[in-house]
Amino acid sequence: MNNNKVRVRFAPSPTGGLHLGGVRTVLYNYLFARHHGGDFVLRIEDTDQSRFVAGAEEYIMQCLDWCGIQPDESPLKPGAYGPYRQSERKPMYAQYAHQLVEQGNAYIAFDTTEDLESMREQYKTEHHNAQYDGRTRAFMRNSLTLTKEEVDALLTSNTPHVIRIKMPQNETVVFTDMIRGEVSFDTNLVDDKVLLKADGMPTYHLAVVVDDYLMNISHAFRGEEWLPSAPVHLLLWKYLGWEAAMPQWAHLPLILKPDGNGKLSKRDGDRLGFPVFAMDWTDPRSMEQTTGFRERGFLPEAFTNMLAMLGWNSGMEQELFTMDELVQHFSIDRVHKAGAKFDYEKAKWFNQQYIQKTDNARLAELVQPFIADKNIAIQDEKLATVMGLVKERLHLLSEFWDQASFFFVRPETIDVTAIQAKWNDTTRQFFVLLAQKLGAAADWNHVAIEEVFNGAIAESGTKKGEAMLPLRVMLVGGKFGPGVFAIAEQIGKAETVGRIDAALKQL
């Protein structure tokens, strides 16, 4: 570790929506930083202009915000190590690439796209794709094969060129990953990655090392898909003379498909009907829309709690943790080595638990976007009361309207068949009487309404069991919902009587 202070970073490339694996990487970084009283840095890795997607950076920041994760330093909140966008740090990188060339750890390559293609064609074997490496570099146009005069002439005439790392031959690069333990790589299998591109921009490989160094990063946690790049990064740390300051690495296991093997992809979500992105994302190029957990009706606390448990365990029975509790208990040694299968039913269970725990006023606020298209004015207070009545039935906020619309608008149709199963002259007389008595009721609350109902039962000689379900269907439209007298209280006297009368006309 390079100093005593823990400093971690989330370093996304702004190329599209934020996958839940990405959010989990953010979360583990954040929890680790907070647990150790350290800093959590957001750095935007936007050096690959060809993959840049407008709006993606803002989207990532909004996702973090929604999740309740505030970076200590970011493009919006610059600290002492700025700028926090790699594109704005462009002038910082070239000197290191040149240093590596001078040291003999990197070289200048002038090959054109056609040169590279013909090399790949010529040197591929039945089992291996050819790459620019220790075997092929000797046949290419670079500062290792050209004379100094030739190189100088090409540079003077502004011939497009890149700088590549010169991977050593027959070496083993070893490091200790905080999750996987010792990991080693055979350098003969790694290609000579480009470090500095023809446009003067660094590639990810150079930029990530330079920035982790200059930003004093103590621990670098990132997805397992970056493990194959680790030997390149380790050698860069060594060649640049910064080895003693190198962060400790942890490559986080993948989040896997619920069915079968492999990384959970957006396509799996489409196929199996669940979100994979944190929030709705519209690709500005294709206009393709992808649903997010937020818009599906997840509470941010449930989403982050669920993600925390996907690949980490607290060692305790407890499954529900507030962010503060996660900070308190989080440790990298309890992150699993193996990938975790995503389980949407379990994700919904977390959300259901959080809906039950959350107070009705906040839920009423959170549910607003899900009822905005209904175009009816609902008072906050009434919304909160109804929320309190139906929330135990909700796994997702998006289910609210199906469970509660009858509180606000009269159902267009009612399940007449369900009533008919209990229907006879006595029940009809009972409902006529009930409508009358309710119309005359002085008090309107669920206790008083139930008393009126019981009175009408006694007077008409109907059995309570015969009348409860029809009353529910008349008010709700179907055989569901919370307590029927609480429903009547909420919809009001005139509407209760109106719904009974309307049903009587249909029967």
- Report the C-alpha gap between 3 and 228 in whole angstroms: 27
By the 8 A CB rule, do 235 and 193 touch? no
Q: Between residue 319 and residue 378, which ones bind ligand GLU under the rule CB under 6 A?
A: none
Distances from the Cα of 266 to the Cαs of 10, 186, 262, 452, in angstroms? 21, 33, 12, 55
Q: According to CB under 6 A, which one of 30, 32, 42, 45 is a site residue for ligand GLU?
A: 45
- Using CB under 6 A as the binding rule, whether residue 11 contacts ligand GLU is answered as yes
Stretch that binds ligand GLU, among 5-13, 102-110, 127-135, 377-385 (CB under 6 A): 5-13
Q: Does the protein bind ligand GLU through residue 193 (CB under 6 A)?
A: no
Q: Helices 204-214 and 230-239, interaxial angle, to 10°?
A: 50
Smallest distance from ligand GLU to CB 147, Å: 37
* Residue with Cβ nearer ligand GLU (219 or 294): 219
Q: Can you tell me the distance from the alpha carbon of 231 to that of 350, in angstroms, rounded to the nearest whole number?
A: 39
Q: Which is nearer to ligand GLU, 236 or 457 (CB)?
A: 236
Task: Return the residue of 6, 12, 119, 476 that touches ligand GLU, per CB under 6 A.
Answer: 12
Say how many CA atoms lie within 13 Å of 122 toward its Cβ.
12
CB of 79 to ligand GLU, least distance (A): 18
Q: Does 21 bind ligand GLU (CB under 6 A)?
A: no
Q: Which two tokens mark 159?
A: 């011939």
One residue of 34, 137, 161, 222 binding ligand GLU per CB under 6 A: 222
Q: How far is CA 367 from CA 125, 374, 377, 457, 476, in A?
A: 59, 12, 14, 38, 20
CB of 217 to ligand GLU, least distance (A): 10
What is the size of the binding site for ligand GLU (CB under 6 A)? 8
Peptide bond into 83 cis (omega under 30): yes
- Quick one: 218 or 496, whose CB is closer to ligand GLU? 218
Structure tokens of 9? 């970073």
Contact 47, 203 (CB under 8 A): yes
Whichever of 179 and 404 has its CB closer to ligand GLU, that residue is 179
Write down the least CB distance from residue 23 to ligand GLU, Å.
12
Smallest gap from residue 226 Cβ to ligand GLU (A): 5
Is 5 among the residues known to form the active site?
A: no
Q: Which stretch binds ligand GLU (CB under 6 A): 11-19, 26-34, 158-166, 428-436?
A: 11-19
Backbone angles phi, psi at 217, to 5 degrees: -75, 130
Burial 425-460 (b: 16+ CB within 10 A, else e): eebeebbebbbebbeeeeeeeeebbbebbeebbeeb
Torsion angle, alpha carbons of 43, 47, 48, 53, to 10:
50
Residue (19 or 348) nearer to ligand GLU, CB: 19
Smaller CB distance to ligand GLU: residue 208 or 484?
208
Only one of the segments 6-14, 64-72, 105-113, 243-251 lies at the binding site for ligand GLU (rule: CB under 6 A); that segment is 6-14
Residue 13 makes contact with ligand GLU by CB under 6 A: yes
Minimum distance of ligand GLU from residue 417's CB (angstroms): 56
Catalytic residue among 263, 266, 341, 493: 266
Residue 208 within binding range of ligand GLU, rule CB under 6 A: yes
CB of residue 86 to ligand GLU, shortest distance in Å: 9
Q: Which is nearer to ligand GLU, 92 or 432 (CB)?
A: 92
Tell me the C-alpha distance between 112 and 114, whole Å.
5
The nearer residue to ligand GLU, 93 or 350, going by C-beta atoms, is 93
Residues with Cβ within 8 Å of 176's Cβ and at least 6 positions away in sequence, in order, are 182, 183, 248
Other CB atoms within a 10 A radius of the CB of residue 482 amount to 20
Six-digit token pair at 377?
């004015």
- Which residue minimizes CB distance to ligand GLU? 222
List the one residue from 52, 226, 349, 423 that touches ligand GLU (CB under 6 A): 226
Place of tokens 């109804």: 386
What's the closest the beta carbon of residue 12 comes to ligand GLU, in angstroms?
Answer: 5
DSSP state of 19: B
Catalytic residues: 266
Q: Which residues bind ligand GLU (CB under 6 A)?
A: 11-13, 45, 204, 208, 222, 226
